[in-house]
Amino acid sequence: MNNLYTFLSGPALWAAFIIFIGGLGLRVAFLFGLSLERDRVFYNHADAGWGFRSILHWLIPLGSVSLREQPFFAVAFYVFHVCLLAVPLFLLAHNILWREAFGISLPSMADSVSDILTIVFIIAALVLLLRRFMRPEVRILTSAWDYVLLLLSALPFVTGFLAYHQVGPYRVMMIAHILSAEVLLVVIPFSKLAHMVLFFFSRAFIGFEMGQRRGARTW
Ligand code: HEM
Ligand code: HEM
C-alpha cells in the first residue's frame, strides 16, 4: 500500500501532468495544422474582436441567446465549471503540495469554503447527469462515454471530500483520490474534455464566421 502511494504521488503524478499539458499542446498544434490545410479560407476574415466577444458572451452567465433559452441548466453548467476550476486550483491542501514541490503556490481559500464548493459541485454534476437522462434531445446524442466523462470529472471531488472528512480508511481514500485525479488529467487531452482549451478556438471561430461574416451573432 505504501509503495503504491509513493508511486502515485511521485512518478505517476509527473507522468499525468506531462501527458495532460503535452497532450493538450499537441492536440491544439495538430488541429491548427489541419485547419490551415483544410479551412485556410476562413483565416482571410479572422477577426480578433469578434472572436473575443464571442468567447466573452459564452463565459459570462446567461451571456448568449442559447444560454438564456435554458437558464436552469445554463446556471448548472456555470456552477459546475466554476467549482471544477476553483477547488483544485485554490484548495489549501493542493497549494501546500505545490509549495513543497516547487516553492510557489496560488492563494488559497478557507477549507470551509472549498468544502461547500465541493458539495455544490457534486449537486451540479448530478443535475447535469439528470439532464442527460431526462431531456430527449440530449439523450439521443448521449453515448455511454459521455456518462464516463461526467463520472471521471466528479470522482476526484467525491474521493477528495471523503478523504478530507476521513470517511473510510484514509490511505485508501487518498490513493483513490490521487488515482482518479490522474486518470482525469490523462483522459482530458484525448477526449471531449479537451474542450477546456478547444472551446476558445471554436467559440472565436463561430464568433467571427457567424457573427461578423454572416450577421447572425448569438448574443
Ligand atoms: C493529482 C494530484 C492531486 C493530489 C496529490 C491531491 C491531493 C489532495 C489532498 C492531500 C487533499 C486533502 C485531503 C485531506 O485534507 O486529508 C485533497 C482534497 C481534495 N482534492 Fe485533491 N489532489 C489532486 C488532484 C485533484 C483534482 C484534479 C481535483 C478536482 C478536479 C481535486 C479535488 C479535491 C477536492 C474536492 C478535495 C476535498 C476538498 C474538501 O472537501 O474540502 N484534487 N486533494
Ligand atoms: C475554461 C475551461 C472550460 C470551458 C470554457 C468549458 C466549457 C464547457 C461548455 C460550453 C460545455 C457545454 C457543452 C454542451 O452544450 O453540452 C461544457 C460541458 C462540460 N464540461 Fe467544460 N469547460 C471547461 C473546462 C472543463 C474541464 C477542465 C472539465 C473536466 C475536467 C470539463 C468538463 C465538462 C463536462 C463533463 C461537460 C459535460 C457535462 C454533461 O455531460 O452535460 N470542462 N464545458
* pLDDT tens across the length of the chain (219 residues): 789 999 999 999 999 999 999 999 999 999 999 999 998 888 888 889 999 999 999 999 999 988 999 999 999 999 999 999 999 999 999 999 999 999 999 999 999 999 999 999 999 999 999 999 999 999 999 999 999 999 999 999 999 999 999 999 999 999 999 999 999 999 999 999 999 999 999 999 999 988 887 877 878
**Residue 97 lies inside a defined structural domain of this protein:** yes
Q: Is residue 153 a contact partner of residue 125, using CB atoms and an 8 Å limit?
A: yes
- From the CA of 64, the nearest ligand is 2
List the CATH number of the domain containing 95: 1.20.950.20
The pTM for the full model equals 0.93
Instruction: For residue 23, tell me if it sits in a domain.
Output: yes
Residue 107 CA to ligand 1 centre (angstroms): 16
In a domain, 77, yes or no: yes
Asked whether residue 82 is assigned to any structural domain, the reply reads: yes
The C-alpha atoms of residue 204 and residue 57 are separated, in whole angstroms, by 11
Q: Please state the domain count of the chain.
A: 1
Centre of ligand 2 from the C-alpha of residue 147, in Å:
13
CA of 62 to the centre of ligand 1 (A): 30
* 219 inside domain: no
- 159 with 180: CB under 8 angstroms? yes
Does 20 sit in the ligand 1 pocket, CB within 6 Å?
A: no
For ligand 1, whether the C-beta of 53 sits within 6 Å is: no
pLDDT number for residue 106 = 97
Q: Which domain holds residue 176?
A: 2-213
How far apart CA 219 and CA 216 sit, in angstroms, is 9
- Note whether residue 133 is domain-resident: yes
Answer yes or no: is the C-beta of 97 below 6 A from any ligand 1 atom: yes
Looking at residue 45, what DSSP letter applies? G
C-alpha cell at 81: 465549471
Does residue 172 fall inside a structural domain? yes
User: Is residue 124, in this structure, part of any structural domain at all?
Assistant: yes
Can you tell me the distance from the alpha carbon of 76 to that of 128, in angstroms, rounded to the nearest whole number? 7
Q: Which ligand is nearest to the CA of 13?
A: 1
Ligand nearest to the CA of 55: 2
State if residue 91 touches ligand 2 by the CB under 6 angstroms criterion.
no
